[in-house]
Amino acid sequence: MKHLGILISGRGSNMLAIASAIREGRLSAADIALVISNVADAPGLERARELGLATAVFDHRGYKREEHDRRMAAALHERSADVICLAGYMRLLSPWFIRQFEGRILNIHPSLLPAFTGLDAQLQALEYGVKHTGCTVHFVDEQLDHGPIIGQTVVSVAPDDTLQSLSERILEAEHSLYISCLQLVVSGNYTIEGRRVVELDTSRKGSVLPGW
Ligand code: GRF
């Protein structure tokens, strides 16, 4: 069983999608240990409380980045969180925090990385005129929107798309992508070769190894 620590700053729809998937048995061998927000009045925090999830607020203001991250890490360790999901967490993590949870921090980004990193990825895609964009779940490393990619979903841009209509379709895709990527990570059924996250072939489990 893996214990998820989910970091949010706002709406929290990805956090809710994860919570629903666990409740409905679409994501197994995982529970939510703690939902942390750096914004006290984040709407997602209230939703998490309504679901009876453990929540904590760590306002970053007045703290150095690493100091803030150390406070969050202490709370996450206290709850035995072993996989960290960034779900609309609008702050960069310190290298210290990333090392604490090395290879166990996931982020979701609303574009097909490496295109359109940073803020307003949906607007960047629309303004660039791409015909296809989407979303990416990746492991977090010390560079912004950069670590090894776990999964991506393509969302086509319609000629009459507005920022709102495109963002809504991407968000819908995000909700299922995050679950399938988390399922893989929680299962531990993958290896990382360079930048490539490679899913292991479970159908070969128990097969006769060469030389046996
Ligand atoms: C999502 O679009 C996600 O890709 C980005 O921030 C947004 C968070 O939305 N990182 P929500 O708070 O999960 O609804």
pLDDT tens-digit readout, 20-59? 999 999 999 999 999 999 999 999 999 999 999 999 999 9
pTM for the model stands at 0.95
SS (H, E, C) the chain: CEEEEEEECCCCHHHHHHHHHHHCCCCCCEEEEEEEECCCCCHHHHHHHHCCCCEEECCCCCCCHHHHHHHHHHHHHHCCCCEEEECCCCCCCCHHHHHHCCCCEEEEECCCCCCCCCCCHHHHHHHHCCCEEEEEEEECCCCCCCCCEEEEEEEECCCCCCHHHHHHHHHHHHHHHHHHHHHHHHHCCEEEECCEEEECCHHHCCCCCCCC
Average pLDDT (10-20) is: 98
Distances (CA, A) of 103 to 11, 95, 142, 209: 26, 12, 11, 29
Q: How many angstroms is it from 14 CA to the middle of ligand 1?
A: 6
Predicted confidence at residue 210, as pLDDT, reads 39
User: Is 109 an active-site residue?
Assistant: yes
Percent of the chain with pLDDT over 90: 94
Q: What is the mean pLDDT of the chain?
A: 95
Whether residue 161 is predicted with pLDDT greater than 90 in this model: the reply is yes
Average pLDDT (98-114) is: 98
* Strand 105-109 versus strand 132-139 pairing type: antiparallel
Does the CB atom of residue 11 touch ligand 1 within 6 A? yes
Query: What angle, rounded to 10 degrees, do the helices at 13-23 and 163-187 form?
Result: 40
Q: 118 in the Ramachandran plot: left (φ > 0), alpha (ψ -120 to 50) or beta?
A: left
Q: Atom 7 in ligand 1: which residue has the minimum CA distance?
A: 88
How far is the C-alpha of 181 from the C-alpha of 155, rounded, in Å? Answer: 17
Whether residue 209 is predicted with pLDDT greater than 70 in this model: the reply is no
Higher pLDDT, residue 192 or 208: 192
- Determine the straight-line distance between the first and last CA of the chain, rounded to whole angstroms: 32
pLDDT tens-digit readout, 171-185? 999 999 999 999 999
Query: 121-135 as b/e, with b when 16 or more CB fall inside 10 Å?
Result: bbebbbeeebeebbb
* Strand 30-37 versus strand 2-8 pairing type: parallel
Provide the pLDDT confidence category of residue 2 given band limits of 50, 70 and 90.
very high
Q: How many angstroms is it from 75 CA to the middle of ligand 1?
A: 23
Q: How many angstroms is it from 175 CA to the middle of ligand 1?
A: 9
Predicted confidence at residue 201, as pLDDT, reads 84
Predicted confidence at residue 91, as pLDDT, reads 96
Predicted confidence at residue 202, as pLDDT, reads 76
Predicted confidence at residue 212, as pLDDT, reads 31
Q: Atom 14 in ligand 1: which residue has the minimum CA distance?
A: 13
Predicted confidence at residue 205, as pLDDT, reads 52
Given the residues 77, 109, 146, 175, select the one marked as catalytic. 109
Whether residue 125 is predicted with pLDDT greater than 80 in this model: the reply is yes
Compute CA 147 distance to the chain's CA centroid, rounded to the nearest angstrom: 12
Predicted confidence at residue 211, as pLDDT, reads 34
Predicted confidence at residue 208, as pLDDT, reads 44
